[in-house]
Structure 1
Amino acid sequence: MEFSLSNAFTLARTVAISTTIIVASANAVASDQKYNFKLALESGDRDSAQGKSMQMWADLIKEKSDGRMKVGIFYQGELGGQQELFDQLVKGNIDMMVTWPQTSYDERLAVNYIPYLTLGWEDALKAYGENGWLKDILGGVYKDIGLKYFGPYPEGFGGVATKGRYATNFEDAQGIKVRSTPVFPLPQTVKALGFQAVPIDWAEVYTSIQTGVVDGDSGNVIYWDYEYFRDQLDYFVHTKHNFSSYAILMNDETWQELDQEDQTIIADAAQAVIEKQFKDARAEDEKWIKAAQDAGMEYIVPSTEEMQAWVERVRAEVWPQIEPAVGKELMDKLQENASDPNAVTQ
């Protein structure tokens, strides 16, 4: 029989089910069931901030359940690419995941990627925080596609990293090819900034830069461009066009099989990770900005005038494309809560 990654997922799922005692009914008395969950990261190794955070989630779950619930962590590339992993999460072959959500299942998830929706840390925290207006919106959408949403894993504001030359305005960006995450409306945003957007899966970015398929990367906080591509890239322009925020998710069918006590353990552990990351994210981003500069990468902040011009152009071009996907009612709410463009600062 031909062996494929799909077969591997099926086999892993079968083994997991055969070794896991599922709650027999909603009236199960006490939490004495044992579970072995699979948690996947689309990007980040075990030593990355994200890898360490997911280990914290796994450790807390194991600790609070007295070892009944264990979580096996699979890091970037170990179980497949970005879209494939998300597919397997929805199917239940993967139990948990931290990911940039794929809009292929519901275009309303594009709200997570609306460019220049928030223009500073305070506004971002109000939107994505525990009681944030955007978190409520996202939770309902994830539920509709069969996923339990615990909350965001924020990293900071993304930028555009390139080699050879850089741009801080629409005109100078012409002809510069940069990788974009292949999720709507990120390629459209990069194009509106003036760059040529090339949608590429994360696993292929290094080779694409090395071989000249693209001149750089876009949308990530500086950590990723410094840590993974520092020998290829010369500049990081902090365009801040997107607030880089992953989602911490669980297959909803798996979630519903748990009794209330076990759900509480997993949810509380996730919330502890999220709260810590909100506290750490800004300092973490600033740490890697300095590290990149010390290593020779030039860190560039556009002027207030250049930022305002980009915000105006991108909102005018991209936001109308988003409304058909998310609906007018939702788009009105997003625009009502969006940052004031006049609040742009360096």
Structure 2
Amino acid sequence: MITKSRILALAALTAASIATGFAEAKTLKIATDSGAKGSPAGNAIEEWAKAITEGTNGEIDLAIYYQNELGGQQEVFDLHVAGDVDLMLNWPMTSYDKRIAVIYTPYMFTTWEEALEAYKPGGWLNSMLDGIYADMGLKFFGAWPEGFNGVGTKGSYATNVDAAKSIKVRVPPVFPFHETIQAMGYQTAAVDWGELYSAIQTGVVDGDAANVIFYELEYFGDILDYYVRSKQQFITGMLTMNLEEWEQLTPEQQKVVQDAATAVMEKQFNEARAQDEGYAEQWKAKGNTYVEPTDEELGALAKTVREAVWPQMENEVGADLMQPIRDNSAKF
């Protein structure tokens, strides 16, 4: 026979279990600084979030924030480092650690094969970044590649330094984008991303530099005329987590988060090249001109930019990090 005291004890135990469950459940914030809902980056954080929630049986829920919903690129990265954004697909800022600039080393690669060899788990660049991110208080999962960048312009275009001198383009405020584009011959201007459309429209700048073709197609395809795939940088986002929050997870939860990040990365590695080529075809279908510099033009740009920018990078990130880059970068 179940006594009244037994019933009360069972009720108390059940209440305690429920309370414990609620205490363990948590909602984390996941964000991207570059990509609206429905974009490749937006889809990637949704997939990562879904896999985490399902893999933890709802112990971790994710609040998703897309580009500009929590502020600009620098603001969101600030929130990530501070722990107010827990997980992120980011195009990292160098304000916390100048060594992050190694991922933007100009003319480090000229082929997808070279880039993917460096960024794959255990690759020479992947291993380098793991330690750099940890020093910033972030857990580094790996790269989410988009492809080689270029310069989108209105009215005219350039494939050499002399032709670029009359063209003014916007560059992001991250070292060494400004230095790279200037070494390529262009005039540069600092324009907020949210104001760039009107800046191109009104002639404040002639175009946008440093982005892969997706962003030029998506945001400026109706006002830009040319896209030159000058390949000055291989652009990749990074999947990271605030290290303090990572360390608060159970080992089982950490495995779920890590495995989910790996799955998102592997999918992007498999699909990114085809996606990038598809955006180039869409660009041309709109009546815009797509330009691939010749091997000679690309080699001349690479030589000029490396001579101008790599010594500056060595001053910023240190010779110990630049030496592996010199050893492993594309040969011309």
Structure 2 residue 110 is matched with structure 1 residue 88: no
| Larger gyration radius, structure 1 or structure 2 | 2
Q: Which residue pairs with 2:121 in the alignment?
A: 130
Aligned letter for 1:167? A
Q: Which residue pairs with 2:208 in the alignment?
A: 217
State the 1:133 CA deviation: 0.7
- Residue number among 246, 255, 259 corresponding to 1:268 in the alignment: 259
Distance in 2, Cα, partners of 1:201 & 1:109: 21
Aligned letter for 2:40? A
Q: Which residue pairs with 2:299 in the alignment?
A: 308
Q: Which residue pairs with 2:164 in the alignment?
A: 173
Distance in 2, Cα, partners of 1:98 & 1:211: 32
- Residue number among 266, 269, 288 corresponding to 2:279 in the alignment: 288
Q: Please give the per-residue CA displacement for 1:55-113, whole angstroms capped at 9, x wherever unaligned.
A: 11011111111111111111111110011111111111111111111111111011010
Q: What is the aligned residue count? A: 313
The 8 Å contact of residues 40 and 98 in structure 1, kept in 2 or not, is answered as yes
SS of 1:116's equivalent in the other structure is coil
Length-normalised TM-score, structure 1: 0.88
RMSD of aligned residue pairs (Cα, Å): 1.5
Gap regions ≥5 residues in structure 1: 1-27, 342-346
State the 1:204 CA deviation: 2.7
Q: Please give the per-residue CA displacement for 1:204-241, whole angstroms capped at 9, x wherever unaligned.
A: 32222222221111111111101111111000000010
State the 1:199 CA deviation: 2.9
Structure 2 residue 56 is matched with structure 1 residue 65: yes
Q: Please give the per-residue CA displacement for 1:221-270, whole angstroms capped at 9, x wherever unaligned.
A: 11110111111100000001000111111111111111111111001000
State the 1:32 CA deviation: 8.1
The 8 Å contact of residues 188 and 197 in structure 1, kept in 2 or not, is answered as no
Aligned letter for 1:339? A
SS of 1:200's equivalent in the other structure is coil
Q: Measured at CA, do residues 260 and 32 of structure 1 come closer, stay the same or move farther in structure 2, by a change above 3 Å? A: farther
Distance in 2, Cα, partners of 1:267 & 1:145: 19
Distance in 2, Cα, partners of 1:316 & 1:182: 21
Structure 2 residue 31 is matched with structure 1 residue 54: no
Q: Which residue pairs with 1:114 in the alignment?
A: 105
The 8 Å contact of residues 31 and 45 in structure 2, kept in 1 or not, is answered as no
State the 1:31 CA deviation: 12
- 1:238-249 matches, within 5 Å, as 238-249=229-240
Give the helix-richer structure, 1 or 2.
2
Aligned letter for 1:239? S
Distance in 2, Cα, partners of 1:212 & 1:262: 51
The 8 Å contact of residues 82 and 201 in structure 1, kept in 2 or not, is answered as no
- Residue number among 196, 214, 235 corresponding to 1:205 in the alignment: 196
Aligned letter for 2:175? F
Distance in 1, Cα, partners of 2:196 & 2:146: 19
State the 1:324 CA deviation: 1.1
SS of 1:178's equivalent in the other structure is strand
Structure 2 residue 181 is matched with structure 1 residue 193: no
Distance in 1, Cα, partners of 2:191 & 2:324: 31
- Residue number among 252, 256, 268 corresponding to 2:243 in the alignment: 252
Distance in 2, Cα, partners of 1:75 & 1:206: 19
The 8 Å contact of residues 30 and 88 in structure 2, kept in 1 or not, is answered as yes
Q: Which residue pairs with 1:10 in the alignment?
A: none
